[in-house]
Structure formats: C-alpha cells, structure tokens
C-alpha cells in the first residue's frame, strides 16, 4: 500500500511541475505571425469608425490562446518598440488558430487596434516580443496595388504572395483544400514512408499479440495450478491408521447381509377363500329399493 501511495504522489508532483510550464507555453508570443497586410485601402475593409486605412493581420499558429499584450509592432528598424500593444485588455487575447487585425492609420487615440504609424512608403514591418528586443516576425513590404493584400499563401506558412482576394480575419487560402492523401504524397512521393509505417504497424501488432498470448497462457497455467492445489484433499491422521482383522471381518459381514437381505422372497400363489356368511350389504336389496313415506 505504501508503494502505491508513493507512486501516485510522484505522478501528482510531476503534474504540478508541468502545469506552470504548460501555462508558459500557452502564453508564448513566439506562436504569433504577421499573416497579411494591405497598404492602400481604397474600397476594402473598414475599421470600427467606418474609415478605410491600411491594416495588418496577425495569426495565432498555436492550438491555445495567446495574449499579445505588451508586444510591439513597428515599421522602423531602429525603433523596435514603436507601438506597444496595451496590456490587460481581452481584445489582445487571440484564440487558437485565430486572427487579429490592426489598422495602421496613425490614430492611436481611436483604440487599441489603431497604430501610431501608417504604411504609406513603409518597406518594413516587424513584431517584437514583450522585452522589446526579441524579434518574432518581420517582412519586407513590396510594391502592392490598391485594395490588394500581400500575405502568406497558407495561414502562418510560406511563401508570401500577392493574394487573389483580401482575407482579413479569415483563411488566406481560398482554393479547394488538398485532401490528406495529396498532402502525404507531397511529403512521400515514392511511398517509402508509407511502406515503413505499414511494416512498423504490422510488426508492432504481431509483437503485442505474442506478448498478450504468452502472458495469458502463463497466467492461465498459474491459475490452474492454484485451483488444483485447492482441490487436492488434505490427508488426516485417521487416513494413516491400519484397520485390524476384526474390523475388516465386521465390515465384510455387514456388506454380505446387506446384499442378501435387500428384498423378501414372496410367494407367487394367489389364494381365494370363500366367506361363510352369505349376507353382505353389497348384495342386500333393501338398499336398492326406493322407499316411500306416507
């Protein structure tokens, strides 16, 4: 019992040690990517004031939410902390595999999502971590036409391309998604990986079956051994006693009498005797006559 309690206490201690690390990973800003930008907004996405300005889309590549409060956006190499993203606002918490759009309109008084710089004439855009020195992501801004966005071909991936459609707060890839088989072919065009996986699964299954049947047979044999051990009669001191001749003779005589006197010998002759008295209620006529009373 002490060993079992020690085992569970060890598991609980490991979980307590891992929880803070998990929380730290869940809040890692290194999962954020600059995903799409639009420089000249003539008839495109509007902000919450009904204005059309340049916008920047950030994408959370992780499968957990990330708070970007305290991080920095800049369009200047020499000033990595140009726009500090405010802390303590729930709008800066980006859910898993989700987006957040900032407006580069040089009007920071309009809200958290409005930057203190614009992208006109900008050739550079970067995202820095909360320490102001760790670079998370950066891009070189090419010449882009009006109402045309420049972004990653797939969310959080490469390469950067001129997108056919602007996709603020949505998936950059607007075509038909490839099925898993097609994706696997791109990674394994000759099928060597598939063959290795198939062989590994087969051999692993055979090994598991071998271990299962081997241990099952062993346990079954042990169980039968215990069963037979329980059913084996326990010898007593009386079993070791020798019977005397008188006792054996008495037993033999009892058996002989028992076998010979099981049934009585009965006669097979049926004797019928005549009754001396002729009167009998069965033959009396008085019982068969109907009596009338006056």
The DSSP-derived string for 171-215 is: -S--SPPPPHHHHHHHH-TTSHHHHHHHHHHHHHHHHHHHHHHHH
To the nearest whole percent, how much of the chain has pLDDT over 70? 70
- Comparing 1-10, 29-38, 65-74, 241-250, the range with the smallest average pLDDT is 1-10
Distance CA 281, CA 279 (A): 7
Peptide bond before 237: cis, by omega within 30 degrees of 0? no
- Give the 3-state secondary structure of residue 150: strand
Distance CA 49, CA 100 (A): 17
Predicted confidence band at 54 (pLDDT cuts at 50, 70, 90)? very high
pLDDT at residue 51, rounded to an integer: 94
Distance CA 68, CA 29 (A): 6
Please give the distance of CA 91 from its chain centroid, rounded to a whole number: 32
Distance CA 67, CA 137 (A): 16
pLDDT at residue 188, rounded to an integer: 79
Would you say the C-alpha torsion 169, 170, 171, 175 has a positive or negative sign? negative
Distance CA 88, CA 219 (A): 61
- Comparing 15-24, 174-183, 266-275, the range with the smallest average pLDDT is 15-24
Provide mean pLDDT across the span 28-56. 94
- Comparing 44-53, 61-70, 83-92, 177-186, the range with the smallest average pLDDT is 177-186
Predicted confidence band at 22 (pLDDT cuts at 50, 70, 90)? very low
Strand partners, 58: 34, 100
Distance CA 94, CA 127 (A): 15
Q: Which one has a higher pLDDT value, 226 or 205?
A: 205
pLDDT at residue 111, rounded to an integer: 94
Give the C-alpha distances (Å, rounded to integers) separating 256 from 75, 146, 249: 121, 124, 11
pLDDT at residue 1, rounded to an integer: 47
pLDDT at residue 109, rounded to an integer: 94
């Amino acid at each position: 019992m002490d060993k079992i309690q020690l085992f569970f206490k060890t598991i609980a201690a490991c979980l307590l040690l891992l929880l803070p690390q998990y929380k730290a990973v869940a809040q890692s800003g290194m999962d954020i990517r600059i995903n799409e930008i639009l420089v000249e907004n003539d008839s495109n996405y509007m902000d919450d004031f009904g204005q059309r300005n340049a916008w920047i889309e950030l994408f959370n590549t992780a499968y957990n939410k990330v708070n970007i409060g305290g991080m920095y956006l800049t369009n200047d190499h020499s000033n990595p902390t140009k726009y500090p993203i405010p802390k303590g606002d729930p709008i800066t918490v980006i859910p898993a595999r989700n987006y957040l759009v900032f407006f580069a309109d040089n009007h920071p008084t309009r809200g958290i999502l409005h930057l203190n710089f614009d992208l006109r004439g900008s050739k550079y855009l970067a995202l820095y971590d909360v320490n102001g020195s760790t670079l998370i992501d950066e891009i070189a801004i090419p010449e882009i036409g009006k109402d045309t966005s420049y972004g990653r071909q797939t969310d959080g991936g490469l390469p950067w391309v001129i997108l056919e459609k602007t996709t603020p707060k949505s998936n950059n890839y607007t075509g038909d998604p490839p099925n898993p088989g097609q994706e696997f072919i791109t990674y394994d065009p000759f099928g060597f990986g598939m063959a290795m996986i198939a062989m590994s699964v087969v051999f692993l299954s055979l090994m598991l079956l071998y271990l299962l049947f081997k241990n099952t047979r062993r346990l079954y044999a042990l169980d039968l051994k215990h069963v037979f051990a329980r059913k084996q009669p326990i010898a007593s001191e009386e079993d070791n006693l020798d019977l005397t001749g008188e006792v054996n003779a008495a037993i033999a005589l009892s058996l002989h009498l028992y076998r010979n006197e099981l049934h009585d010998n009965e006669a097979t002759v049926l004797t019928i005797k005549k009754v001396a008295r002729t009167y009998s209620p069965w033959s009396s006529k008085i019982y068969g006559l109907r009596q009338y009373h006056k």
